[in-house]
């Protein structure tokens, strides 16, 4: 009965709010966003039976972090998506305060979801790791909890990412906080997805030479790329430094080697995945053509999200574009998925002094820029990217305080590959060496202006709307 009640409330929210949300000039043309309410973490990203599936954390009833549902999109090409039936509704006792993040696997031809059932009560909270299967009609059948809260950990245990290893066993990484308030990543093993053995902690505070490194690690993801293992995680509680770790919470990766038998992960240093203002909770999957693909949430929890103007239209947040990952010279590179080229229209090229370029429409656009010297890019006078020969600085006014804030990248700049979509910018630096993703909210139709006398080579495309039905 609770599920029926929640679905009725969701239908009412959609009927009352979808038209208003669609009228927002800041609503993306081709990035994925929920029809109403709040969207956050990508979940269950998988290519299954020839289709890409992307589930997502969703509160359809308010622009707030309430009890989360799982929404569901499906696509054949990462560009054109269709809505599927709501996958998970927090209707059972073991998920009473939200169907939290998780992943999806192909279990012998059955698309199976693994997610966290979040339960809060007056004196604390607990978490269950739960299973569900996708049925032929697009609905999900819940199989219930399969992992209870392990001994020695607080109620903050969540976000299972599961894969099948070469030995035929299933493995899971799980974000956790121990009773001392230290963030950890746990490794578990199962033969059947139902009965799990905790193998130990493979990363976190006070492990592998890290020292104190955050009070909670969310959204872990472990995968093989080339000849190394990559662990993505979101440590909460890192102190900001002068030009890094400046967001409320961080999202980054470690490169190393997982010893499956000893449950040890020897790894190198922590690298941020995205240096912009909004990026968190990424999730990857392997495609049938051998690529490792990633979606991220273009948002930050507990930051300044509730000062964004889209709340007036009844929706908040979007996904990043899909990205392809590669390991090059000991660093993770991210490039926009090649499928995005299908959106290109009206190509233009230009060469000359930056300040002589006429303003460009960037409502929905892709740009490739090669500067020969110092350069400043003004995005609708609401966001600014400046290059001084040694450092890129991304600047905007904080939506809460109105004070100017900055994010940084250091290196030698050869190329900027920029994707703009109404109220978002994704800046790929040096063919994927680094990325800066940010929301911004121009007061009029956004245009890009270049200043300085630097010579630039520029390629520009208008991007057509993605199709979400």
Same domain, 330 and 346: no
Contacts of 122-125 spanning 24+ positions with Cβ under 8 A: 124/155, 125/97, 125/155, 125/156
State the DSSP H helix or E strand holding residue 17, giving kind and residue range, or none if neither: helix 2-22
Residues of the chain with pLDDT under 50: none
Specify if 369 maps to a domain: yes
Residue 422 CB coordination number (10 Å) = 23
To the query of whether residue 274 is one of the catalytic residues in this protein, the response is: no
**Longest CA pairwise span in the chain (Å):** 66
| End-to-end CA separation in angstroms for the chain | 29
Q: Is residue 46 part of a domain?
A: yes
Asked if residue 208 is part of any domain, the answer here is yes
Per the structure, the count of domains in the chain is 2
Which residue from 32, 174, 48 is spatially nearest to 115, judged by alpha carbons? 174
Same domain, 454 and 353: yes
pLDDT at 198: 98
Does residue 469 lie in a domain region?
Answer: no
Query: In the numeric block, which tokens belong to residue 448?
Result: 């890009």
**Domain shared by 453 and 307, yes or no:** no
Q: Which among 336, 366, 400 is the end of a domain?
A: 336
CA dist 248 and 285 (Å) reads 26
Same domain? For 65 and 101 the reply is yes
Does 162 lie in the same domain as 121?
yes
Same domain, yes or no, for 309 and 386? no
The total of other beta-carbon atoms located within 10 Å of residue 14's CB is 16
Residue-range definition of the domain harbouring residue 421 = 338-463
Contacts of 384 (CB under 8 A, 6+ apart): 376, 377, 378, 394, 395, 396
Where residue 287 sits, what CATH number does that domain have? 2.115.10.20
What does the pLDDT read at residue 387?
98
Residue 242 and residue 374 in one domain: no
**pLDDT tens, 149-197?**
999 999 999 999 999 999 999 999 999 999 999 999 999 999 999 999 9
In a domain, 155, yes or no: yes
Give the closest residue to 371 by CA, choosing from 327, 424, 427. Answer: 427
The reply to whether 71 falls in a domain is yes
In a domain, 468, yes or no: no
Supply the pLDDT for residue 468: 74
- Summarised one tens digit per residue, pLDDT across range 222-281 is 999 999 999 999 999 999 999 999 999 999 999 999 999 999 999 999 999 999 999 999
In contact, 162 and 170? CB cutoff 8 Å = yes
Q: Tokens 């992960």 appear where?
A: 265
Domain boundary among 309, 336, 363: 336
CATH number (domain holding residue 428): 2.60.120.560
Q: Are 138 and 121 in contact (CB under 8 A)?
A: no
Question: Looking at the structure, do residues 178 and 198 belong to the same domain, yes or no?
Answer: yes
Q: Is residue 124 located within the same domain as residue 43? A: yes
Same domain, 228 and 300: yes
Sheet strand arrangement including 447-451: 360-361, 447-451, 375-379, 383-387, 391-397, 404-410
Res 469: pLDDT: 64
Residue 198 covered by a domain: yes
pLDDT at 113: 98
Active-site pick, 24, 41, 229, 274: 41
Residue ending a domain, choose from 274, 301, 336: 336
Same domain for 94 and 33: yes
pLDDT for position 171: 98
Assign 3-class secondary structure to 303-336: CCHHHCHHHHHCEECCECCCEEEEEECCEEEEEE
327 and 450 share a domain?
A: no
**72, 57 in Cβ contact below 8 A?**
no
């Amino acid at each position: 009965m609770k599920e029926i009640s929640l679905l009725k409330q969701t239908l009412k929210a959609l009927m009352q709010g979808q038209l208003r949300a669609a009228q927002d000039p800041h609503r993306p043309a081709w990035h994925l966003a929920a029809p109403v309410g709040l969207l956050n973490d990508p979940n269950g990203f998988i290519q299954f039976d020839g289709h890409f599936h992307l589930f997502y954390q969703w509160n359809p009833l308010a622009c707030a972090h309430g009890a989360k549902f799982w929404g569901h999109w499906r696509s054949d090409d990462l560009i054109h998506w269709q809505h599927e039936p709501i996958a998970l509704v927090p209707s059972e006792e073991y998920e009473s305060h939200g169907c939290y993040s998780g992943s999806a696997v192909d279990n012998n031809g059955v698309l199976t979801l693994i997610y966290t059932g979040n339960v809060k009560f007056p004196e604390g909270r607990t978490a269950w790791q739960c299973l569900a299967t996708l049925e032929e009609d697009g609905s999900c059948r819940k199989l219930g909890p399969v992992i209870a809260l392990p001994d020695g950990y607080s109620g903050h245990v969540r976000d299972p990412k599961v894969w099948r290893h070469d030995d035929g066993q299933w493995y899971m990484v799980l974000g956790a906080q121990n009773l001392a308030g230290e963030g950890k990543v746990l490794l578990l093993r199962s033969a059947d997805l139902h009965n799990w053995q905790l193998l130990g902690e493979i990363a976190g505070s006070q492990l592998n030479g890290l020292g104190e490194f955050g009070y909670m690690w969310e959204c872990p993801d472990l995968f093989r790329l080339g000849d190394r293992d990559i662990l993505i995680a979101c440590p909460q509680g890192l102190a900001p430094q002068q030009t890094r770790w400046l967001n409320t919470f961080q999202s980054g990766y470690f490169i190393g080697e997982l010893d499956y038998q000893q449950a040890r992960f020897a790894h190198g240093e922590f690298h941020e995945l995205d240096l912009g203002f909004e990026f968190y909770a990424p999730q990857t999957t392997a495609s049938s053509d051998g690529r490792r693909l990633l979606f991220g949430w273009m948002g930050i929890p507990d930051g300044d999200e509730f000062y964004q103007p889209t709340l007036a239209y009844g929706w908040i947040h979007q996904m990043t574009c899909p990205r392809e990952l590669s390991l090059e010279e000991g660093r993770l590179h991210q490039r926009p998925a090649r499928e995005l080229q299908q959106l290109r229209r009206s190509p233009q090229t230009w060469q000359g002094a930056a300040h002589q370029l006429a303003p460009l429409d960037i409502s929905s656009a892709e740009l490739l820029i090669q500067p020969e010297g110092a350069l400043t890019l003004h995005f609708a006078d609401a966001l600014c990217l400046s290059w001084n020969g040694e450092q890129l600085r991304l600047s905007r006014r904080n939506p809460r305080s109105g004070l100017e804030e900055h994010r940084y990248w250091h290196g030698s700049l050869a190329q900027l590959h920029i994707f703009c979509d109404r109220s978002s910018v994704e800046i790929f630096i040096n063919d994927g060496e680094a990325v800066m993703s940010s929301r911004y909210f121009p007061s009029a139709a956004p245009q890009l202006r270049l200043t300085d006398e630097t010579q630039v080579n520029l390629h520009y495309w208008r991007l057509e709307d993605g199709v979400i039905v």
